[in-house]
Structure 1
Amino acid sequence: EIFKEEHGLYQEKVFSFVHLSIQEFLAAVHALESCLGKEEQVLICRDDHIYDVDDEEVRKSDRLLYLYRRAVDQALKSENGHLDLFLRFLLGLSLESNQNPLQHLLTQTGSPIQSNKETVERTVEYLSKKIEKESSPERVINLFHCLNELGSNSLVEDMQTSLRTGTLSGRELEPHQCSALAYLLLMSEEVLEEFDMKTYKTSDEGYQRLLPVVKTCKRSLLAGCNLTYKSCETLASALQTPNCPLRELDLSSNHLEDRGVKLLCAGPTSLLSNIQTLELARCNLTYKSCETLASALQTPNCPLRKLDLSYNHLEDRGVKLLCAGPTSLLCYIQTLV
């Protein structure tokens, strides 16, 4: 069942989508049809001028390229990734192999411009440049999904070969290579027993791009990777993943500060909802982090059993905050450092 029939106001029939991915797909079809059939851009920017050419085929090519680039830009601006799936559908529809089964939906597919290789190649080039520049690890992962939709997997295949031959740990990885590695590990759908980020030689930005991998492992070792409170946003997002297997998290010797801990414990699914071992030694924390952790510990059936807060500036009031409230820290913790 794709659509669900309901009765709206004034007894009118209303149809809702049972699965939202259908809505995203139809939105991509509409954007493509509007671009080619009606010569309209659903993602138009009023300051852009792309129609000042006489050749009709060039105009169509420019419209498509503009549509793809605008869709990429808009998706990258989204903080919660609400356009990610739409973008993947849109770019996937650019290939003739994906259009053929959808002739009844895509009324303009008779035009050869839709499978124009140059348009696809220029879009791949645009995506590759964005991968190198984009700072959000989650958004970059989606750009690799987009490259996959367009059949461009050279960077990922290089990472796959290096993993298979065991040569990856000896290489200095560029940030975009780290994103390719993260994409590869996430796409394997295999739960890793342990992910030690220090295994890989890279820059601070490279480590940031590897963070999404924590959502697919049981034990994550991120100590001494020059992470900051901004890294906690990516970690918190990863922890919102349904059925996240992560049980042990070592964030020691990073400059997280109190605001980093606050980000980790925020949201509908707190850091402490699943974690059994949490190590936060030498993270520049104060008593304020104790207040945040104490609040998170009020979660029913909190699984946390080991907590390392050593070498921080908690003071006596920090300890007092941890042990206060209806559900004390000591009700759960077996090891406190």
Structure 2
Amino acid sequence: MVAHFVKNSKLVIFSNVDLISVVALNYLRFNKPKEAKIYLKKFFENNSLEFDFDKEYLDIAKREIEKAEKLGVKIIPFFEEAFPSSLLNIPDKSLLLYVKGDFKGFTEEAIAVVGSRKCTEYGKSISYKIAYDLGSASVTVVSGLAYGIDSTAHNGAIDANGRTVAVLGSGIDIIYPKDHLNLAKKIENHGFLVSEFPFGTAPVKYNFPFRNRIISALSLGVVVVEAELKSGSLITAGHALDQGKQVFAVPGNITSPTSAGTNALIRDGAIPLLSTSDIFENISTLKHLALKKEEEQLTKEESEILNVLSDGDTFDTLKEKAKLNEGELLISLTTLEVKRLIKKNAGRFFKI
């Protein structure tokens, strides 16, 4: 099989690539890293998997594939069309992803919401609201299934009947923390779980910083709600910046350790997040979803004004076009301005 990979922004063609070989190489990558370095070097330099794996590793790969089928897990190697292109052009590229749940493909309309495990009640409420607003606007919420900010973000998206993705720092068959088994099942019904680690991989500490590059790569931007100065969420933010993504941070109490990281991000150039609208205003590809959400919440009068409004209309022309009295028109125009669907300039109204 011929496959394609992106290396240094250039399309690279790989020959003789098959699922068993990729699963075997991925197993080596996380279980025998020293040995894997040799194979990975050959893989990237020769654009091929035309080298011999020990039979032991090919047998392991076959068992991985069989186990995936039994557990209802889909293995998506880098050469399949379903594999997210955003993971092909980052350092330490993923070779494959294990996916479980209601998988409908990786959407580009996704935002990561991350933060401290030991967060405050304020942080939880903000995380939930951001994720709920995003979910209700059909934006997928990506997070890491951890205690604190992550779990409230997943729950916010689910409660909004939206979609959410949990990126694991363990094998997809190892839910961590164990307390979140029920949450993981809910996520499977409202999105999916994803991991690049082979089955049975324990949630060891060093897996999570490596995992974080996937959280940012699957998202158009990263929101850090609360984080200490040495938080893993700042690693995710760093990956996002390296990948050319937007980074947002929720301002917090300057005396609170859980806001030290977010306040530092803002000091260093992150976008202060005061409401979810800040996300839509700064990521143009999501703006149509915000507009759609606003339009779904319009009153009959507001909808009529938007239907008849031509750029440059005055209050009097709109009054005649919309067939509204002055009070109704004034209230509706003011509300539409607050919702940022129209703007007023020199007595004339324009759609935004």
TM-score, length-normalised on structure 2? 0.31
Structure with greater strand share of residues: 2
Q: Could you say which structure has the greater relative contact order, defined with CA pairs below 8 angstroms and 6 or more residues apart?
A: 2
TM-score, length-normalised on structure 1? 0.32
Structure with greater helix share of residues: 1
